[in-house]
């Protein structure tokens, strides 16, 4: 029997001594004010027990982690036709690169690079009666927590400065792969990225992927196959051009965001989230990746 609390405490002590903490994502001005020394981990076992260390109850901007949740909602509504408009191949490129999108005629490589997530956002804007409210309800329901909310300042900050995402959306539109107005789709996309959650809330939201499509309340939110497929995409595409490195070092499906959060899971066993806001040069949490490498090494648990 693994003493998870002891493992988390040891990782915490090792990580807080690291002096190279990475860089905060300042390209979204509202994210620039976060304290780089913040660090927390939350572990939720599928069997029910949970363990925490550090700043696991502090809210942060989940950013691209939200792309997994929007994909889950879209896939549960649209089914496999969703894949007519985007692919499931790793991009080997940064999350915001546009050149592949042009080369591949407006079909994004996968739903976790920005252009792919914008196509998913477009589907949800078409499908949902009140897109922002309905998506928030979906996340609250998965997590069992009504306090989760958007940070409108962060969303506005991206609306003012997100020229690259406007370029991606316009490129998609030019290839006929965006049905709604660019501004409406990006308003939704920037709000989904602005969701604020704690490590503890994130593990609860992602429980559905570790538990074959059943959320914490044991309600079915995805089919077993949909959960399995989303986990596969997290493994191959969850860390952009560092997906190989994450599989190599950590060995779990997972997803990162430029707010410094990472959530990862071992199907049928656990969900773990970490928050350390400093990023490496690929835009993934530097100490978050190190912490997860230590976790799967010390507990000898990974999908491999």
Q: What residues are annotated to the active site?
A: 64, 67, 189, 240, 258
Per rule CB under 6 A, count of chain residues that contact ligand GLN: 11
Judge residue 95's burial from the number of C-beta atoms within 10 Å of its C-beta, 0-12 exposed, 13-18 middle, 19 or more buried.
Answer: buried
For residue 256, the number of C-alpha atoms closer than 13 Å in the C-beta half-sphere is: 32
Q: Which residue in this structure is represented by tokens 């925490």?
A: 52
Cβ(128)–Cβ(176) below 8 Å: no
> Of 95 and 270, which has the nearer Cβ to ligand GLN?
95
Q: Is 219 left (phi over 0), alpha (psi -120 to 50) or beta?
A: beta
Q: Nearest 10 degrees: CA dihedral of 215, 292, 7, 39?
A: -90
Q: Residue 190 has which token pair?
A: 């920037």
Looking at the Cβ atoms of 64 and 236, the one nearer to ligand GLN is 64
Binding of residue 114 to ligand GLN (CB under 6 A): yes
Which one among 51, 60, 95, 246 touches ligand GLN, defined by CB under 6 A? 95
Cα distance between the two ends of the chain = 20
Residue 195 touches ligand GLN, criterion: CB under 6 A: no
User: Given candidates 10, 96, 299, 302, which one binds ligand GLN under the rule CB under 6 A?
Assistant: 96
- Pick 54 or 277: Cβ nearer ligand GLN: 277
**Options 110, 165, 201, 280; binder of ligand GLN; rule CB under 6 A:** 165
Nearer to ligand GLN, 253 or 257 (CB): 257
CB–CB of 117/189 below 8 Å?
yes
Residue 64 within binding range of ligand GLN, rule CB under 6 A: yes
- Element holding 16 (H helix, E strand): helix 4-16
Helix, strand, coil in percent for the chain, rounding step 5: 50, 10, 40
The CB-of-247 to ligand GLN minimum distance in angstroms stands at: 18
Separation of alpha carbons 267 and 227, rounded Å:
9
Choose, by CB under 6 A, the member of 30, 55, 122, 158 that binds ligand GLN.
Answer: 158
The sign of the torsion formed by the CA atoms of 213, 206, 226, 144 equals positive
* Whole-number Å distance between alpha carbons of 216 and 44: 10
Which residue from 22, 116, 254, 257 is in contact with ligand GLN, where contact means CB under 6 A?
A: 257
Nearer to ligand GLN, 60 or 138 (CB): 60
CB of 56 to ligand GLN, least distance (A): 20
Query: Under the criterion CB under 6 A, does residue 193 sit at the interface with ligand GLN?
Result: yes
Contact 56, 40 (CB under 8 A): yes
Q: Which two tokens stand for residue 88?
A: 């499931």
Per-residue string for binding with ligand GLN, 262-301, x by CB under 6 A? ---------------------x------------------
State yes or no: residue 258 binds ligand GLN (CB under 6 A): yes
Residue selected from 63, 91, 143, 226 as contacting ligand GLN according to rule CB under 6 A:
63
Helix (H, G, I), strand (E, B) or coil at 271: strand
Which residue has the CB atom at the shortest distance from ligand GLN?
64
Residue (251 or 260) nearer to ligand GLN, CB: 260
Nearest distance, CB of residue 63 and ligand GLN, angstroms: 3
Contacts to ligand GLN by CB under 6 A: 63-64, 95-96, 114, 158, 165, 193, 257-258, 283
């Amino acid at each position: 029997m693994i003493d998870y609390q002891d493992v988390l405490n040891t990782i915490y002590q090792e990580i807080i001594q690291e002096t190279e903490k990475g860089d905060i994502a300042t390209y979204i001005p509202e994210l620039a004010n976060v304290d780089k020394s913040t660090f927390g981990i939350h572990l939720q076992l599928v069997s029910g027990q949970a363990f925490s260390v550090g700043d696991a109850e502090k809210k942060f901007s989940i950013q691209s982690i939200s792309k997994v949740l929007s994909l889950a909602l879209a896939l549960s509504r649209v089914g496999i036709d969703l894949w007519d408009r985007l692919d499931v191949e790793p991009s080997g490129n940064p999350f915001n690169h546009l050149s592949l999108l042009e080369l591949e005629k407006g079909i994004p490589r996968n739903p976790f690079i920005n252009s792919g997530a914008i196509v998913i956002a477009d589907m949800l804007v078409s499908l949902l009666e009140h897109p922002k409210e309905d998506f928030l309800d979906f996340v609250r329901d998965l997590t069992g927590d009504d306090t989760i909310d958007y940070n409108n300042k962060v969303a506005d900050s991206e609306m003012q400065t997100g020229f690259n995402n406007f370029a991606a959306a316009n490129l998609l539109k030019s290839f006929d792969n965006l049905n709604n107005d660019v501004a409406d789709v990006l308003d939704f996309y920037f709000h989904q990225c602005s969701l604020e959650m704690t490590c503890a809330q994130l593990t609860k939201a992602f429980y559905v992927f570790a538990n074959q499509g059943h959320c914490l309340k044991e309600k079915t939110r995805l089919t077993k196959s949909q959960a399995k497929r989303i986990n596969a995409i997290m493994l191959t595409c969850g860390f952009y051009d560092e997906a190989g490195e994450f599989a190599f070092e950590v060995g779990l499906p997972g997803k990162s965001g430029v707010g410094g959060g990472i959530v990862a899971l071992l199907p049928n066993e656990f969900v773990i989230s970490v928050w350390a806001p400093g990023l490496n040069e690929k835009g993934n949490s530097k100490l978050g990746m190190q912490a997860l490498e230590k976790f799967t090494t010390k507990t000898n648990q990974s999908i491999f």
